[in-house]
Amino acid sequence: MNRDNPIPWPKLTIFTARRIVTMDDSLPEATAVAVSEGRIVAVGDPESMAPWREGREVTLDERFADKVLLPGLIDNHVHPFLGAVLLPTEIIAPEPWRMPDGSICPAANSPEEFRARLEARLAARPDREDWFISWGYQPSEHGRWFREELDALCPDRPVILWQRSFHETYLNSKAIGKLGLDPEELAAHPQIDLDRGHFYETGNKKVTAALMPYFMRPQWYHKGLESLATLMHQGGITTAADMLFGSMDPDFELAAIDTVIEKPNRPVRIVNIADARGFANRAIGKRVMGPPDECPPFEQGLPAIEALPERATPRVTFARAVKLFADGAMFSQLMQMRAPGYMDGHHGEWLMAPAVVAEGVRTFWRQDYGIHIHVNGDAGMDAVLAAVEAAQREMPRFDHRFVVHHVGFHSNAQSRRLAALGVHASVNPFYIHALADSYAAWGLGPERASQIVRAGSMVRNGMRVSFHSDFPMAPTEPLFLAWCAASRRSRSGRVVSPEERLSLEQALRGVTIDAAFALRMDDEIGSIVAGKRADFTVLEDDPFELGAERLREVRVSGTVIDGEVHLLAAPMASLHAAGDAQSALPRPIVRTGLFSRLAGALGTARAAARDGGRRSSAARYRPVAACCGEAAGDHCAFARELAQQARRWFEAGRSVRSADRARETGLSSAPGPAA
């Protein structure tokens, strides 16, 4: 009882653990934490809890006595709607994916494996009227599957291959016809190659919009969202940020989250960051985004964004922040790169042209919003820096929490400018593991490919660096992502740019307190401190005993969210735990005559870049006569040859990327008219 008031104190639960890693510099470790009404009351050891026990009903919970507690893990950039859309598709990707039921979609690392898996999944879905949609297609490893090849394989059923990045799709003729879109409009779009059935960046949005009625059926969308929620729990995530809320339809998205997450009281908190372009376009009745240089009316979208917090629930909240875009996808090699550019002379793409980026930043900066921006290449970063510098000159702000996301490749000089402007970063360290080998062999070259995601440089320059999955670009496994940043090991097992590695503590900060900082929630979550939410991730193993190199082996036993315990049926480590790195490598394709043609191939690409300027993105997929691949002159085959024979150099697996960098895509199913 309160001595001055007869009203009883709320019930108190004291959790004890082998070790509690608080991520708080003032009290880094503990062995007990007291919780009441979803909040942390005290942190220390069991003896220090004595003053808090007086006059209370106390439960001593010793379930974690032999386990380790971390602050609840945070993924500050996921896409629930993408998970809902893609998880029910046929997943055929370059890396294995674990499904919620524990089954594994194995990796396909060669054209032969991809074709065999594709044919098997087509046979398993005999309905030739329904869409067949597959996600995970990567031309550099899976070979060429454009409209012509898909038509030959499936002339009488609609087939869509969604590229690994989700930014591109490849459709056969039946699928293009079923979309019901205006052929003349498609042919005129700058980011659609209709002859190849290739839709990329803003052009791909037309495919997505047309498929929305199909994807938004409860039997599809809710199934996918439930799968994602389960995967996040298995990864130990207690808070996830939807970094593009409202990109489809805010009412539908909220209703689905309420049905799948809020009502069943699933152990995850969703923080929504508004899609600035989506809300702006809806304000004028526009349902599909235009080309990259078309500036949406950002200010007209503000009233709807401002009203969102009124719709918050206990597990679903809204940040005063928006999402913008700069350049294209990392997995597609569509990021905008400074000189020397790409090895084959192609250029990247803009999702928002620099002038549109500048206007978006200016609009929301003046309204005191947090701004999160997708940027991958160093030329894309130049556009972002210019926009922030202009905004700061016009209206100086402090602690603005401007956050650059992904940050595939940028320079040390840009790190210094970002730090000077008070910008911080949420990076995708999975790029290091997944792409460093292949992009060394084709695309960026060994030096730049080894330096992707320069997390160490950013930390040294004073930036806070957090990690995200950008699901489905990486698994919803924060400890695996932290391992990627701490070890910088590629799929072949090489350590790339060891100077950019993070310490174990820095890596753990990236999925706890620094991830919370990026969301402006570090006063609520991210560390185990009195007054904060009682969110913990329960570990079977101690990260500090295993060390940074074995961080991906740490097993998650469950989570605690707002003081409620949610244990898994059995502890789970990352699917990418030690031992799978080599098995995930692409298999070499034995060919001959590579190096006799190598100089000519590179010379052709460089000459094309000199004579006609940088090649268009579509040109990446064109066969290069007299120097590439087999008789068909397939650029992709040539890059596979290069990767196979140079594998002992970079341990790279078939990183093709030459001309067949044909916007990878996944297969699936889609519906009728545009949304």
pLDDT in tens, 389-405: 999 999 999 999 999 99
List, in order, residues 6 or more apart from 519 with CB less than 8 Å away: 74, 76, 239, 241, 271, 319, 321
Q: Work out whether the CA dihedral 233, 235, 239, 242 comes out positive or negative.
A: negative
Which of 216, 233, 255 corresponds to the end of one domain?
Answer: 216
What was the pLDDT predicted at 639? 32
| 86 lies in the same domain as 176 | yes
Asked which of 251-260, 426-435, 600-609 is least confident by mean pLDDT, the reply is: 600-609
| 118 lies in the same domain as 170 | yes
Which of 171, 192, 216 corresponds to the end of one domain?
Answer: 216
Q: Is residue 390 part of a domain?
A: no
pLDDT in tens, 514-556: 999 999 999 999 999 999 999 999 999 999 999 999 999 999 9
Q: Indicate whether 510 pLDDT > 70.
A: yes
d(CA 649, CA 591): 17
Burial class (CB in 10 A: 0-12, 13-18, 19+), 103: exposed
| 53 lies in the same domain as 105 | no
What was the pLDDT predicted at 2? 56
| 60 lies in the same domain as 93 | no
| 98 lies in the same domain as 138 | yes
Q: Is residue 537 part of a domain?
A: no
Share of the chain above pLDDT 90, in %: 77
What was the pLDDT predicted at 476? 97
The pair phi, psi for residue 174, each rounded to 5°, is -60, -40
pLDDT in tens, 465-479: 999 999 989 999 999
What was the pLDDT predicted at 641? 34
Start-to-end C-alpha separation, the chain: 59
Q: Quick one: how far is CA 522 from the chain centroid?
A: 22
Q: What is the 3-state secondary structure (H, E, C) of 311-355?
A: HCCCCEEEEEEEEEECECCCCCCCCCCCCCCCCCCECCCECCCHH
Q: Is residue 436 part of a domain?
A: no
Domain with 172, as residue range(s), is: 82-216
| 94 lies in the same domain as 51 | no
pLDDT in tens, 216-253: 999 999 999 999 999 999 999 999 999 999 988 899 99
pLDDT in tens, 137-184: 999 889 999 999 999 999 999 999 999 888 899 999 999 999 998 999
**pLDDT-derived band of residue 201, with 50, 70 and 90 as boundaries?**
confident
pLDDT in tens, 555-585: 999 999 999 999 999 999 999 986 543 333 3
- CATH number for the domain spanning 209: value is 3.10.310.70
Identify which of 489, 509, 571 has the alpha carbon closest to the alpha carbon of residue 235: 571
Helices 594-612 and 635-645 sit at what angle, rounded to 10 degrees?
A: 130
| 123 lies in the same domain as 27 | no
What was the pLDDT predicted at 4? 60
Q: Is residue 352 part of a domain?
A: no
| 93 lies in the same domain as 208 | yes
Q: Is residue 643 part of a domain?
A: yes
What was the pLDDT predicted at 5? 59
Q: Indicate whether 602 pLDDT > 90.
A: no
Which of 216, 232, 265 corresponds to the end of one domain?
Answer: 216
d(CA 201, CA 164): 13
pLDDT in tens, 241-292: 999 999 888 999 999 999 998 888 899 999 999 999 999 999 999 977 788 9
d(CA 271, CA 660): 38
Q: CA of 365: how far to CAs of 298, 378, 412, in Å?
A: 12, 23, 25
What was the pLDDT predicted at 9? 86
List, in order, residues 6 or more apart from 264 with CB less than 8 Å away: none
Q: Is residue 635 part of a domain?
A: yes
Domain count, the chain: 3
What was the pLDDT predicted at 82? 87
What was the pLDDT predicted at 618? 44
327 forms beta bridges with 350
Average pLDDT of the chain is 86
Q: Indicate whether 99 pLDDT > 70.
A: yes
Predicted TM-score of the model (pTM): 0.83
| 62 lies in the same domain as 161 | no
| 395: enclosing H helix or E strand | none
Vertex 179 angle, CA 176 and 184, to 5°: 65
Q: Indicate whether 193 pLDDT > 50.
A: yes
What was the pLDDT predicted at 251? 94
| 115 lies in the same domain as 195 | yes
**pLDDT-derived band of residue 3, with 50, 70 and 90 as boundaries?**
low
Q: Is residue 566 part of a domain?
A: no
Q: Residues 442-451: what's their mean pLDDT? A: 96
What was the pLDDT predicted at 165? 84
| 97 lies in the same domain as 131 | yes
| 62 lies in the same domain as 88 | no
Q: Is residue 241 part of a domain?
A: no
- CATH number for the domain spanning 42: value is 2.30.40.10
The tokens of 193 are what? Answer: 């190659």
What was the pLDDT predicted at 611? 38
DSSP state of 376: -
Q: Indicate whether 628 pLDDT > 70.
A: no
